[in-house]
Structure 1
Amino acid sequence: MSTRTTSPRRAAGASDRAESARSNRRRQAATHPWWFAFPAFAVLAVFFFLPTLFNFVYAFTDWSSFKSAIGFVGLKNFETLLSSGDIQRALRVTLTYAVLVAVFQNLFGLLLALLLERDTRVNRAARTVFFIPVIMSALAVGYVFQALLKPDGVVNSLLSGISGHTVDTAWLGNTTWTMLVVALIHAWKWMGLPMLIYLAGLKTISAEVLEAATIDGAGPWTTFWRVRFPLIAPAVTFNVATALLGSMNGFDIVQATTAGGPARSTELLNIFIFRTFGQGLFAQATTMSLVLFLVVVVLAFPVIGMLRRREDVL
């Protein structure tokens, strides 16, 4: 008897909810028409979708500043790049730079988040100070460090004063460690962003979970490695992904500090593309940018997928 009376009521309630949802959608469409978004989509189409489309097209042409006409050449640009060996070297430098930046940037950000986790007045001020480089111009940061790290710069002057003898190390002129120095500069500039992301992740961890770990006898290191670090896995995924994508498309800091030197040891693919465009070889430069796009898709996104699967395991 109850089934006969409640089923129609449930059906009527579901029908009312569906009708209410349709009414809300109609009301929202009336008050928030889609054509309001047209200017944003138009700007996106003109400045993103069209250039991306033409990037694919011009990679298969002989477009340059030395010709008035543009002709189709097929895969000739790719064959030229692969045979010269320049693209392999630039890709190797770019991948090395991206891995170093991702490691340093996340390490610095996580350490800062752990050091400044407590909500004290000093820590809040320190967070602001460490975030300032994020909003600074990357070119400005590069030129400042280029001046500091010259053989007669401030860094060597300080080291000379501390050690008591003259130090004239060319920090940006050695093929052995210049890549490491430039990656550290990049990580220093952006470490404030992962710091905030890690801080947000640490703040979401329940105090009861940490208390339970302490009661079970876990020390600070065990609590961090076994409890806190797995719980901030989404923050790790986001920070690693942004660091990899940002550094693989790096240009400004390296251009300002070393311009790809010494001996092209820090010549990222974007710097190589910039120089090729400057030589008037537009099609070859476009081909290189297409290669960079494909490398990011092939390498970076599988890493992001691996990190996401790690989140599910943890």
Structure 2
Amino acid sequence: MTTTTAPAPTREGPTEARTARANRTRRARNHPWAFAAPAFVLLGVFFFLPTLFNFVYSFTDWSSFKAEIGFVGWDNFTRLFENGDLGRALRVTLGYAVLVAILQNLFGLLLALLLERDTRVNRIARVLFFIPVIMSALAVGYVFQAILKPDGALNAILSWVTGTEVTTAWLGSTSWTLLVVAVIHAWKWMGLPMLIYMAGLKTISEDVLEAARLDGAGAWTQFWRIRFPLIAPAVTFNVATALLGSMNGFDIVQATTAGGPARSTELLNIFIFRTFGQGLFAQATTMSLVLFLVVVALAFPVIGMLRRREDVL
């Protein structure tokens, strides 16, 4: 009877161990998560961590007037909703966001239809209309503030055209100033939906349009019955981004009106900026938390409604 004995385990030498470690390091470096890790670190440090602290500080009495920070529970929320300023700023912000979403998409769709043909002139025009998108929003706001003041360029042009002196304060009315600022915001960003709508229009098969023309459909019928329904995903993206993005508006309004006149254009972000500047840090973080929750609560039904519209069309 013979017995077999298992071979004794061999120990790796220094060279083999270094090679194994190098292979493991190489495999880790080539893993897809290794390339995404720096981006996740930056996202965590500069977005998730401040957002977490924003939730925490909303329930404290943090301010520049106290050396220590104490927990106060829901007192900040109670005071903000009781004095009415938060509700007023939210109403102004929602009105501004709706105006921007309508105007920005209207301007972008009209430009896409006008510049759809791939000609040299249209290519140059597309670049010109996209330039405001990459410009500083503060710079755009200050330029329009200079144009729209009573002794600005717009009134000078109107005075020359009409032959009478025009001194309209375009940014000084509590009735229409919010609309004027929304037009400026839509003008600055209309180049982006223009390109997205144009990309959607170019994906429509020419055979479908040719069949519609053979059936006697005019230009308007082709657009409303065929082309517009087929670019529904582009409409969803543009409306959602314009509406939710303008809820966080600040720079253009701050540069043109700074929330005036009579706080008629005071968006919630401007209100937060002023509150933080007064040293009331906890109240400012509470308002930013409310804005965050409003945007999240608005995003899901808006995107869901637009998605259902895509399915219907």
TM-score w.r.t. length of structure 1: 0.90
Match of 1:7 in 2: none
What code does the residue aligned with 1:182 have? V
What code does the residue aligned with 1:233 have? A
Match of 1:3 in 2: none
Match of 1:176 in 2: 175
What code does the residue aligned with 2:133 have? V
What code does the residue aligned with 2:244 have? L
Deviations 1:94-118 (A, max 9, x none): 0000000000000000000000000
Deviations 1:280-302 (A, max 9, x none): 00000000001001111112321
What code does the residue aligned with 2:109 have? L
Q: How does 1:33-112 map to 2 (within 5 A)?
A: 33-112=32-111
For 1:36 and 1:164, how far apart are their aligned partners in 2?
A: 65
What code does the residue aligned with 2:282 have? A
For 1:243 and 1:209, how far apart are their aligned partners in 2?
A: 30
What code does the residue aligned with 1:123 have? N
Deviations 1:9-48 (A, max 9, x none): xxxxxxxxxxxxxxxxxx9877335233222211111000
Match of 1:117 in 2: 116
For 1:299 and 1:36, how far apart are their aligned partners in 2?
A: 33
Q: How does 1:147-296 map to 2 (within 5 A)?
A: 147-296=146-295
For 1:216 and 1:29, how far apart are their aligned partners in 2?
A: 61
Percent same amino acid among aligned pairs?
83
> Is contact 2:150–2:167 with CA below 8 Å preserved after alignment?
yes
Unaligned runs of 5+ in 1: 1-26
For 1:110 and 1:104, how far apart are their aligned partners in 2?
A: 10
Number of corresponding residues? 288
For 1:114 and 1:83, how far apart are their aligned partners in 2?
A: 48
For 2:35 and 2:310, how far apart are their aligned partners in 1?
A: 38
What code does the residue aligned with 1:134 have? V
Larger deviation: 290-299 or 195-204? 290-299
For 1:199 and 1:247, how far apart are their aligned partners in 2?
A: 22
Deviations 1:171-220 (A, max 9, x none): 00010110010000000000000000000000000001101111111111
Deviations 1:248-281 (A, max 9, x none): 0000000000000000000000000000000000
For 1:301 and 1:239, how far apart are their aligned partners in 2?
A: 15
Larger deviation: 291-300 or 203-212? 291-300
What code does the residue aligned with 2:240 have? A
Aligned to 2:220, what secondary structure does the other structure show? helix
> Is contact 2:253–2:259 with CA below 8 Å preserved after alignment?
yes
What code does the residue aligned with 1:284 have? Q
For 2:27 and 2:201, how far apart are their aligned partners in 1?
A: 37
Q: How far apart are residue 163 of structure 1 and its match?
A: 0.4
For 1:28 and 1:245, how far apart are their aligned partners in 2?
A: 41
Match of 2:12 in 1: none
Q: Larger Rg: 1 or 2?
A: 2
Aligned to 1:41, what secondary structure does the other structure show? helix
For 2:33 and 2:108, how far apart are their aligned partners in 1?
A: 40
For 1:36 and 1:58, how far apart are their aligned partners in 2?
A: 33
Larger deviation: 302-311 or 125-134? 302-311
For 1:67 and 1:290, how far apart are their aligned partners in 2?
A: 22
For 1:30 and 1:141, how far apart are their aligned partners in 2?
A: 44
What code does the residue aligned with 1:226 have? R
RMSD (Å) for aligned C-alpha atoms: 1.2
For 1:28 and 1:301, how far apart are their aligned partners in 2?
A: 40
For 1:194 and 1:177, how far apart are their aligned partners in 2?
A: 25
Match of 2:30 in 1: 31
- CA gap 1:151/1:114 in 2 versus in 1, 3 angstroms: same
Q: How far apart are residue 238 of structure 1 and its match?
A: 0.4
For 1:211 and 1:188, how far apart are their aligned partners in 2?
A: 34
Deviations 1:112-161 (A, max 9, x none): 00000000000000000000000000000000000000100000000000
For 2:242 and 2:179, how far apart are their aligned partners in 1?
A: 16
Deviations 1:219-270 (A, max 9, x none): 1101100000000000000000110111100000000000000000000000
For 2:81 and 2:88, how far apart are their aligned partners in 1?
A: 10
